[in-house]
Amino acid sequence: MKFLCRMQVQFPESMSAEEVAQKQAQEKEYSQALQRSGEFEAIYRVVGKYANVSIFDVESNDRLHEILSGFPMFPYMSIETTPLSKHPNSIR
């Protein structure tokens, strides 16, 4: 099952620069492991925002929820999820 997820991050103003850097490092490690596994198919930065658009290919809604809630930045994210299906005009 493919999903498009738009994720926007908003850290609390009270969070120190060191805490933010730590979360960013953890996030990078977690997301790259998911990319290597094939479940996290693609990630694109949204220009001008601390946000991304990502494509996931997972076995179930529950697995997607498990992945998303596992992100170290999850408590600071706003996530919009859209299920995808193949378009009949697609040549891929």
DSSP assignments along 6-68, one per residue: EEEE---TTS-HHHHHHHHHHHHHHHHHHHHHTSEEEEEEPTTSSEEEEEEE-S-HHHHHHHH
Helix (H) / strand (E) element for 73: namely none
pLDDT at 26: 98
Specify the CATH number of the domain 2-84: 3.30.70.1060
- Tokens encoding 75: 């408590």
Note the pLDDT tens digit of each residue in 21-51.
999 999 999 999 999 999 999 999 999 999 9
- Kindly list the domain boundaries of the chain, sorted by start residue: 2-84
